[in-house]
Structure 1
Amino acid sequence: MTCPYQAPHPALTALTAAASPDTAAMQSFYRELSKRSTLQFDPASSCWIAASPELALAALQHDDLGVRPPGQAVPPNLQGRPFGAVFARWLRMRDDGPREAEKLAVQAALDGLEPALVRQVAERQAGLALQLDWRHWQWASLPCTVAGLLGTTFSHATEQQALLANLAALALALKPQADPAALEQGDRAMAAILALLDGAAPGPLAQALQAQARLMGLAETADWWQAQALALLWQGYEAGAGLLGLGLLAATHSSASAPRDLAACTDLLKTVGRQPGAIHHTRRWALRDCVLAGQPLRAGDALLVILVGGADPKAEPLGFGSGRHRCPGITLTLNAGAVALWLAMQQPTPQQTPRCAGFQALANARIPILNNFESEQEQT
């Protein structure tokens, strides 16, 4: 019986589903949304919604749909700022002609990483992160592995915390409603991360990015490789926290057998990416008048592309993108994530089993808030 005085849960929308504490309701919402075979305009988000897996894939691979509004390569509040100059170099935020060659260069740099070295660095960083608590491990393991491959030599979790604080400042500066103080802090955080890279002996990933910049004959070699390094750190931040948090909860609370080795951890992370995964949607803009699935779009029209509708176990999770903006770091993410997950699963005691205390209030990413060790011990 439903209590007549209990306030009903508000209906989920594409902008609130990722943070819903009701997993069953969220999954039901996306199942219904994925049945929409045509584009529909959503007044709440001021976007057309590409909801079915087929529509989402078509949108991601459409040549006339870009990642930034036409004529606005940099968000208005970042224009003219130091962080805006770096943002403009990020390949994930560009659709210009030179981007294709640059993405191939970044992909080549990532593909050249030795798996054994990735495992070694990931073990080191995840081990340091576990010295604090689940929440820190969840957020630090992937970006700090990238930092280690770039050449940083973190030897304590407090050094990881400093990097995460700067990445969090970048996240606040990227919000459309960021105030002047947040924008100033974003500039300082960006400068601090670039100074960290400048002061480190180049690691294998930094060396590979530098070599690719020279091969392309880029005049601003340092500016280019550091911008791409910062982008890789950023991409491992929120997305990495979501992937690892969901993966750890699935490994320790699922009725299915816990993964027995690194390969099984990799498979689990791939499965988590379809249930739905960490990244729930992305945006695209019509660069010019065009048509998608029979629906005419005008230049500047915005689309919300839903990435969690597919359930095919053989399909690549759309959370990593597709087409020209498919994430170049998929292999690194899964390999480093599997190592971090495997190491974490060797740690829990009955007093330290990770538990979910809710989800971050983000529109596009489902990131569980994990308890820390102390609070769980206090409950026992």
Structure 2
Amino acid sequence: MDPIIAATHADPYPYYAQLRTQGGLVFHSELKLWVASTASAVAAVLAHADCHVRPAQEPVPKAIASGVAGNVFSQLMRMNEGERQRCPRSAIQPGLAMIDTDEVSALVSARLLTPDPDGLHKAMFRGPVGVVAALLGFTPAQGRVISELTADFVACLSPLSIQTQLAAAHAAAEQLSGYFIELLDDPDNQSALLAGIRQRFAKTSGANDALIANLIGLFSQTYEATAGLIGNALVTLIRNPQWLDGSLNMDDLLAEVQRFDPSVQNTRRFVAAPCEIEGAGLKPGDVILVLLASANRDPQLNDQPDAFMLERPQRRSFTFGAGRHQCPGQMLAINIAGATLTQILTLKPALDRLTWHYRPSLNGRIPLFS
């Protein structure tokens, strides 16, 4: 076991507990990076101005730097610092916070869901992107295509992707850009979400390609994180069938799932200047693996952290990040996941017959059912 393999292990949490006993920020000699495992260390790294989301010498991964996907990647707010991060965020975040939950539920209900493994897969991966596409003004047919293209595009974000997947990611990025160019030129678009984003974006940056890149980024963030949230909630229900008696509060379930068994297990930060964190001296070029999932289980953050408590008082979590790079779509993801799970459970799926394994990933924990 190591801190990276742990993300897709059947039960990484005892291992995370061992790491926390070794200290908050410790150098892993085999992986040649620092590991932040405690709540205090994770909070300190995420808040530190010299801990950046990309290495200075490689702002875009070399594997995609020369293609369309690399151009999109270079403009994503989640992959930048300073104004290139703050401006898109200030344009996009307010609109996401104002989306009506009833509208989300209606969009989810309009989709044809089936309780078999293939149906669950589509509900987890394709459905959430389709909801966001509809909120931006795309038609249902366009949303289905966009969901497929997003599945191809996210491959550019993974170091595990092979060359054919990266080629497909470039093609998907180009097609997604084309869809947004047409949408932004459509005088009949009635999306309040898109109108607000465009208005705020115009005040901070007039670059249309940056707007399009970050709208594509909205799809890519929705794709994996929401899929994992839905999937890990289903795993929790399989392990706790007593909660399927009809009295389950979906908000409580998802709030605890995202803390207890998060879809994003870790993230990375790259040291840009000499600094000291948790007593450790760091130098430019150092890499820090930030174990969000471990911090969530730190008893200094939550009492009885290894107990799954639907009505947990003062629940605290790093799953959606913290500070300047905290996920702007946290509530939207939870609302989409809640509406999707509610719809799935009305179909009374045979959850006890499902098996699962975790999708290959260096940081995601996303179950695939069969």
4+ residue stretches of structure 1 with deviation over 4 A? 128-132, 177-180, 259-262
Matching residue of 1:355? 354
* CA deviation map 1:193-252 (0-9, x unaligned): 222334445433222221111222x222x3232211111110111211111001122234
1:204-219 equivalences in 2 (<5 Å): 204-216=192-204, 218-219=205-206
1:141-290 equivalences in 2 (<5 Å): 141-155=127-141, 160=144, 162-176=145-159, 178=161, 180-200=163-183, 202=189, 203-216=191-204, 218-220=205-207, 222-258=208-244, 260=246, 264-290=249-275
Distance 2:113 2:182 in 1: 21
SS at match of 2:244: coil
Letter in 2 for 1:304: L
- Aligned pairs, how many? 349
Distance 1:225 1:288 in 2: 30
Please point out which of 13, 16, 36 is paired with 2:2. Answer: 13
SS at match of 1:320: coil
Structure 1 unaligned regions, length at least 5: 1-11, 372-380
Distance 2:100 2:258 in 1: 25
1:64-79 equivalences in 2 (<5 Å): 64-79=50-65
Tell me by how many angstroms 1:173 deviates.
2.8
User: Does the aligned pair in 2 maintain the 1:130–1:137 contact within 8 Å?
Assistant: no
Structure 2 unaligned regions, length at least 5: 303-311
Are residue 86 (structure 1) and residue 75 (structure 2) matched?
A: no
Distance 2:80 2:162 in 1: 25
TM-score, normalising length: structure 1:
0.84
Root-mean-square deviation (CA, aligned residues, Å) is 2.4
Matching residue of 2:92? 106
* CA deviation map 1:132-152 (0-9, x unaligned): 511221212222211111122
User: Does the aligned pair in 2 maintain the 1:41–1:47 contact within 8 Å?
Assistant: yes
Please point out which of 56, 59, 69 is paired with 2:42. Answer: 56
User: Does the aligned pair in 2 maintain the 1:259–1:268 contact within 8 Å?
Assistant: no
Tell me by how many angstroms 1:37 deviates.
2.7
Are residue 325 (structure 1) and residue 311 (structure 2) matched?
A: no
User: Does the aligned pair in 2 maintain the 1:129–1:141 contact within 8 Å?
Assistant: no
CA 1:288–1:354 in structure 2 vs 1: closer, same or farther (change >3 Å)? farther
Tell me by how many angstroms 1:348 deviates.
2.1
Matching residue of 2:281? 296
Percent sequence identity over matched residues?
24
Distance 1:261 1:233 in 2: 32
TM-score, normalising length: structure 2:
0.86
Tell me by how many angstroms 1:308 deviates.
1.1
